[in-house]
Chain A
Amino acid sequence: MSSSVKPTHDVGLKCYHCGDTGNPKSFVYADDHAFCCDGCKTVYELLKESDLCTYYNIEDRPGNKKAQEAASAGFLSLDDIEISNKIIRFTDGNRARVVFSTPGMHCSSCIWLLEHLNKLNQGVISSTVNFPRKEVTIDYLVGEIKLSELAGLMSAIGYPPAISLGDLELKKKKRASHSRVMKIGIAGFCFGNIMLMSFPDYFSIGDLELTPGLRHLFAWLNLALALPVLLFSASEFFVSAYKTIRYKELNIDAPIALAITVTFLRSVYEISTDTGMGYLDSMSGIVFFMLIGRYFQDRTYENLSFERDYKSYFPIAVTVKNKDGEHSVPVSKLQPGDEMIIRTGELIPADCTLLSERASLDYSFVTGEADPISKIQGEKIYAGARQMNGAIHARVEQATSQSYLTQLWNNDAFSRNKEEEHKTYIDSINRWFSLAVILTSLTAGVVWYFIDSTVALNAATAVLIVACPCTLLLASTFTHASILKWLGKSGLYLKNANTIDRVGSATSIVFDKTGTITAAHEADVVYEGAILLEEDEAAIGALASQSGHPLSRRLAEYYDEAREQVVAEQISEVVGKGLIGYVGGKQYVLGSAQFTGSEAGVSKGANVWVSKNGKILGRFVFHNKFRSSLGEVVNELKGNYHLELLSGDHDAERDVLTPVFGNDMKFNCTPDDKLEHIKQLQLQGEKVIMMGDGLNDAGALQKAEAGIAVSDGVNNYFPACDAVLDAKAFDRLPRLLRFTQQSRKIVIASFVISVLYNFVGVYFSVTGQMSPLIAAILMPASSFSVIIVTTLSAGILARHLKISQN
């Protein structure tokens, strides 16, 4: 995933602050300048207050005070000792360091601004941005600025830190790549120097004899240099081989560990008995190349987390009311009986009972139900929903971790390790190849023993050195690295190399509905009824814009142009039922059938009726807008995969979807239903890819062989999965899947090439003619050719299948 700065659209308006172009509709204005977002506008105003013409000059200004205070209030929970202890990396009482995740940064001026926080507030000592990870590390003075104020400051300049419940459980990210860079560096250093000192021996032909003194010097120096390679750089092969041998299995590292050991021991023997210079350059060279391959294969996407559970979705604190007033309480400390106050847009963090009269809840992410649910006083509300309209009071019934939703995570689908369970074709090839090599080696040894026993050991070990299974590892790691890169460029981000084969060998695909095949927050609006006059349309738009209900918002958008300059008056809203208002003296009512006085019964799906001065005009029917390419994508996939739809939503759209999915559809599924269904498919022998996007898909995503989260914006939340598909790349899905399937061919092709080299090498070994010179030529030659072939083939295949174009 590219982390460099790119313009998003190519039309018209440019933000005055950051130069970004975007959707003109979402631009905000100040002082005759256009800004792409409130963040840029706020920064501009802040800089303007300091009376400066370029934004590089910024003096110690506290920033836009009012906005900052308001923002700080939202982060008050951060001052709670328990919470701040978990976020702060270290502190000595005087200074402290905190790392905030700020997904809002998107350009170089963001980096500039975030690294100059110390100019905005004296409490900040310094701040450093890690752009690929979208993080900022801030060192500040504990006595001068509180954590909540710091978060408020960042929020006020447009970069609110994203802190979720999951961030409080600081799992130390393994810096494995750190030590791998070290291993590669040392292996490369030793490899280069060993090669340099082996050249004199290779070139000592005839008159150019190497003096014995120098020969000994070079030989022992080589041995000294080979030790760090063996003990440090190659250690991961030995460790991994040892681990699997304990379970009486063989993975790809075992034969490599054997080959390295044999090479080293034989070289030690030759050097100490002065019979040769050993094969240390080949050994260190192959370790070097294999580590590089692994490094590229394991490079993952730094700003994507594939391991999110419900905790990363939930907020860290919620307002609780008790005798002393309202406090911000950490979600993990909620007790049954606490009275929560949940405001518009906030998440319900625990199963609770509604104390207020009414609530309008959006469960689309949790159950897949696209339409908001109305609840009345006394009804039970499940955790995970977003409150839509107004503040509500609710009494906690279960702690967050005990809520109905989070119980899903107790399923043992979440504790399995998919990588270990899946045996790839590479493991099978490896087993056969290793067996063949060992047999050849033993045969050569035995045969020579009877002909000329001095050559026996020579031939046997030479075979093991040359016919190295390392080339299979090279072929697979470099191919995987290329494939991951190409897939990432095209919008499909896989978690690791093992996922490639799990995706490529799938036989069936299960789709979720809400958010996965529906385009987010868009809906088709169809009006049925008496003809609407222009003034009616304007009035409806103006009235609808006064409510936060998603259907009202869509109506307002639909009539965006019509309602310009029209104002609705005397508005009253009954949450979950409808709106009443006056435009131009006429009364308009928008809402449910019952509310507007229509005699139609309750219908499935979203309807908004409208009446004017007491007389029903008609109704608006909202259809989920499906992704435009859905039909084509499904058609292309049908030939190769068994397709199904599992939705948590009601089945109002069954008829629309039947031509697409046939009868393989299930509606009103709970998260457990989805998981069970995947299990059933697997019992029938299918290998399943699950495509989903919400918390209700979390179980299915884990259970399936490969779970792909479809995301409209990679900074948004998506549950734990094996791959993330950018929603914009949805129409490329068939091509992307085909690419992963055919990657197998590339690995096998390059393996075949390396086997040819191996034949040549084995010929020399078996006939007892193997020499360090020949090995030194063969090893790099085969390694390079394998690397080049795999990288080029992956690129050619990617272009051929056109996976990057729409």
Chain B
Amino acid sequence: MSAMFLLIGASLLVAAGFLFAFIKAVKSGQYEDDYTPSVRMLFDDTTDKSKEENSK
């Protein structure tokens, strides 16, 4: 049964890790705008490619 104590402790640590990540995410302001990132993600980043092409 002592294994239980160890397991519970370990699982709480992992859970605390996730909680920490959550708190960091909220503090970083991610939750202030939940629409624009979804649009931003779809932009093509072809700028660098064209620069390469033009400098050839």
User: Does A89 reach chain B (CB closer than 8 Å)?
Assistant: no
Q: List 18 A-B contacts (CB under 8 A).
A: A3-B35, A56-B44, A57-B47, A59-B50, A59-B51, A111-B36, A129-B36, A129-B40, A130-B32, A130-B33, A132-B35, A132-B36, A175-B32, A178-B31, A181-B31, A189-B19, A193-B12, A213-B1
Chain A, residue nearest B5 (CB) = A217
Partner of A182, one of B15, B23, B32: B23
**Chain B nearest CB, measured from A61 CB (Å):** 13
User: Does A58 reach chain B (CB closer than 8 Å)?
Assistant: yes
Report chain A residues within 8 Å CB of B44.
56
**Chain A nearest CB, measured from B31 CB (Å):** 5
Report chain A residues within 8 Å CB of B1.
211, 213-214
Chain A, residue nearest B36 (CB) = A131
Report chain A residues within 8 Å CB of B50.
52, 57, 59
CB–CB A214/B4 < 8 A: yes
Q: A182-B26, A189-B22, A221-B12 are in contact. Are A111 and B39 (CB under 8 A)?
A: yes
Partner of B40, one of A56, A57, A115, A189: A115
Report chain A residues within 8 Å CB of B32.
130, 175, 178
User: For the complex, what is the distance from the CA of A119 to the CA of B46, rounded to whole Å?
Assistant: 13
**Chain A nearest CB, measured from B38 CB (Å):** 9
Interface size band for A:
20 to 34
Interface positions of B from 13 to 56, Cβ below 8 Å from A:
15, 18-19, 22-23, 26, 29, 31-33, 35-36, 39-40, 42-44, 46-47, 50-51, 54
CB–CB B31/A108 < 8 A: no
CB–CB B8/A131 < 8 A: no
CB–CB A186/B19 < 8 A: yes
Interface residues of chain A, those whose CB is within 8 Å of chain B, are: 3-4, 52, 54, 56-59, 108, 111-112, 115, 119, 129-133, 175, 177-178, 181-182, 185-186, 189, 193, 197, 211, 213-214, 217, 221
Q: Is the interface of A mostly helix, strand, loop or mixed?
A: helix
For the complex of A and B, 4 pairs with smallest distance between CB atoms: A131-B36, A57-B50, A130-B33, A108-B39
User: For the complex, what is the distance from the CA of A449 to the CA of B37, rounded to whole Å?
Assistant: 62
User: For the complex, what is the distance from the CA of A181 to the CA of B15, rounded to whole Å?
Assistant: 18
Report chain A residues within 8 Å CB of B5.
213-214, 217
User: For the complex, what is the distance from the CA of A52 to the CA of B19, rounded to whole Å?
Assistant: 48
User: For the complex, what is the distance from the CA of A217 to the CA of B35, rounded to whole Å?
Assistant: 43
Chain B, residue nearest A129 (CB) = B36
User: For the complex, what is the distance from the CA of A214 to the CA of B8, rounded to whole Å?
Assistant: 10
User: For the complex, what is the distance from the CA of A427 to the CA of B5, rounded to whole Å?
Assistant: 48
CB–CB A108/B46 < 8 A: no
Report chain A residues within 8 Å CB of B29.
178
CB–CB B8/A111 < 8 A: no
User: For the complex, what is the distance from the CA of A130 to the CA of B50, rounded to whole Å?
Assistant: 28
User: For the complex, what is the distance from the CA of A226 to the CA of B29, rounded to whole Å?
Assistant: 26
Report chain A residues within 8 Å CB of B8.
197, 217, 221
Report chain B residues within 8 Å CB of A129.
36, 40
User: For the complex, what is the distance from the CA of A217 to the CA of B15, rounded to whole Å?
Assistant: 17
User: For the complex, what is the distance from the CA of A561 to the CA of B35, rounded to whole Å?
Assistant: 43
User: For the complex, what is the distance from the CA of A111 to the CA of B33, rounded to whole Å?
Assistant: 13
Partner of B43, one of A112, A177, A185, A213: A112
Partner of B39, one of A131, A211, A213: A131
CB–CB B39/A178 < 8 A: no
Chain B, residue nearest A211 (CB) = B1
User: For the complex, what is the distance from the CA of A214 to the CA of B7, rounded to whole Å?
Assistant: 12
Report chain B residues within 8 Å CB of A112.
43
User: For the complex, what is the distance from the CA of A359 to the CA of B10, rounded to whole Å?
Assistant: 80
Chain A, residue nearest B23 (CB) = A182
User: For the complex, what is the distance from the CA of A347 to the CA of B7, rounded to whole Å?
Assistant: 71
Chain B, residue nearest A135 (CB) = B33
Report chain A residues within 8 Å CB of B23.
182, 185
CB–CB A108/B15 < 8 A: no
Chain B, residue nearest A111 (CB) = B39
